[in-house]
Amino acid sequence: MTLRTHSVLILALASAGFSAQGIAQMDHSMHGSPAAKQAPADAAMTMEDAVVKKIDKPAGKIALFHGAQKDGMPAMTMIYRVKDATWLDKMQVGQKIRFATDPADGMTVARLELIK
């Protein structure tokens, strides 16, 4: 076989594994595709305890002090966006909450429970 024939054969075999159907069935979670960034059902989100330190209604953000998290993040105060701005009207500084972030960015509170 010539080098050109060999190259064409290799290209044909390689591209056969990347058919449209094959690509649609691939796991894109490591590639940052939109499908990989969809949030799981609310029930699957890990809830963490926190204390509200600051509320910034115009920016739609809150500062939360959270304890050490299950994913290894140490205790700290962090600023998060909120999925629903009406949540900001329901909480106050010093209030204890439980929250879960959107797995797509980790910086948006996607689920919130007020602790009484």
- If asked whether residues 11 and 55 sit together in one domain, one would say no
Same domain membership, residue 62 and residue 10: no
pTM for this predicted structure: 0.61
Number of domains present in the structure of the chain:
2
Q: What is the CATH number of the domain that holds 66?
A: 2.40.50.320
- Between these two residues, 16 and 83, which has the higher pLDDT value? 83
The three-point CA angle 115-73-108 to 5° equals: 60
Same domain, 55 and 99: yes
* Stretch 88-111: mean pLDDT: 95
Both 47 and 68 in one domain: the answer is yes
Domain that holds residue 8: 3-37
Residues 29 and 60 in one domain: no
pLDDT at 96 over 80: yes
Give the residue from 49, 53, 48 showing the smallest Cα distance to 64.
Answer: 53
Instruction: Return the pLDDT at 28.
Output: 38
More confident residue, 82 or 45: 82
Mean pLDDT, all residues of the chain: 76
> pLDDT for 20-31, tens place per residue?
444 344 443 333
